[in-house]
Structure 1
Amino acid sequence: MAEAERIIGTPEVGDDAEPQSEPAAPRGRRRITALLVVAVLAYLLDLGSKMLVVARLEHRPPIEIVGNLLKFDAIRNPGAAFGFGEAFTIIFTVIAATVIVVIVRLARKLYSLPWAIALGLLLGGALGNLTDRIFRSPGVFRGAVVDFIAPAHFAVFNLADSAIVCGGILIVLLSFKGLDPDGTVHKD
């Protein structure tokens, strides 16, 4: 078994594979549990931070965290990244809902802990921004997302956006390593 496969806990595929000591069903349930724990943590951190920002920072001057390099500045973003697509809020809502459905369907075949973490980050982030789109003004499915992390010379974002980006980067890395969500490793 390759060292990387042993470390990330993926099963070996092939004729010389050793029988697994634990059944696949409990192992799959643990991965789904990991996905849900990561998603709930990401969602609650995002929701809590947005509630705090709306209560304490909105309609107030920005708070400098690291001089001019990083500040907290509450804004409402009806569009996508960098404020693009303000007229397409309903489309972003549908996309977020679709991502959630795809992750939930994929979870049934999930046997990889790294993939569970990546998908959990995506799920928690998508739920965080979807909650804003559904429940914040100006109305249902047209709500503006609360963004507040403002690095110098970059877009203002929130913890949900961070979770989505981190999950996406992890998925790209796992794909480059050849690790599939079902736990198998393919070599191209």
Structure 2
Amino acid sequence: MTQHTTRLPSATRRRTALVAGAAALAAADLALKSWAQGALVDGPIGPEAAQLRLAFNPGVAFSLGETLPSWVVVAFTSLITVAVAVAVWRTAPRSRATATALAVMLAGAAANVIDRADDGVVTDYLHTGWWPTFNLADAFIVCGGLAMVALSWRRTSPEPGDTPTTA
């Protein structure tokens, strides 16, 4: 009996890897949020300079939009997350660095939307003495975005398979 193995097209493999990576990172953040909600109820852990502290954010970055109805914030952040997911899916970048940056951003956005969906707030647990309390998903979004900016500076020619855009 001859066994045939079909190889997924490279774009499909890249998309699958991106989604799987984003899902794994989002799951890690959601697990930490769940842990924080149980372990940090009685108060912060650690020194003020780098502390685990339970907080809930009804807004987005730096509590922007915290006075808006929660459904507005959920809808807005969900739309942005879907837009990022569509961009990731459509581009399926060949560059591992670009793919990683996009997967990390998607993971953070998705984890925060999932966390916010139930009660309209995002669970934060990382605190420094000089910065607002945040979570791993927030760090994913920021680091992924910074990586994309850095990658755009170093990229001088299109990736193989990219199609040029015209104005």
On whether the aligned pair clears a TM of 0.5, the verdict is yes
1:123-152 superposed Cα distances (whole Å, 9 cap, x missing partner):
11111111122112xxxxxx1110010011
Note if 1:100 corresponds to 2:108: no
Percentage of pairs with the same residue: 31
Partner Cα separation in structure 2 for residue 62 and residue 158 of structure 1: 14
TM-score, scaled relative to structure 1: 0.72
Q: Secondary structure at the match of 2:91?
A: coil
Note if 1:72 corresponds to 2:52: yes
Deviation, 1:182, is 7.0
Question: Quick one: which of 125, 149, 157 aligns to 1:148?
Answer: 125
- My pick for the range that moved more, 104-113 or 153-162, is 104-113
Partner Cα separation in structure 2 for residue 149 and residue 114 of structure 1: 26
Q: What's the C-alpha RMSD, in Å, of the aligned pairs?
A: 2.3
Task: Provide the residue aligned with 1:36 in structure 2.
Answer: 19
Preserved contact between residue 79 and residue 144 of structure 1 (Cα < 8 Å):
yes
Please, which runs of 5 or more residues in structure 2 have no aligned partner?
A: 1-7
Q: Secondary structure at the match of 1:87?
A: coil
Question: Quick one: which of 39, 43, 60 aligns to 1:61?
Answer: 43
In the alignment, residue 44 of structure 2 is paired with which amino acid? P
Note if 1:164 corresponds to 2:136: no
Figure out how many residues of one structure are paired with residues of the other and give that number. 153
Task: Provide the residue aligned with 2:4 in structure 1.
Answer: none
TM-score, scaled relative to structure 2: 0.80
Please, which runs of 5 or more residues in structure 1 have no aligned partner?
A: 1-24, 137-142
Partner Cα separation in structure 2 for residue 180 and residue 126 of structure 1: 27
Partner Cα separation in structure 2 for residue 156 and residue 114 of structure 1: 28
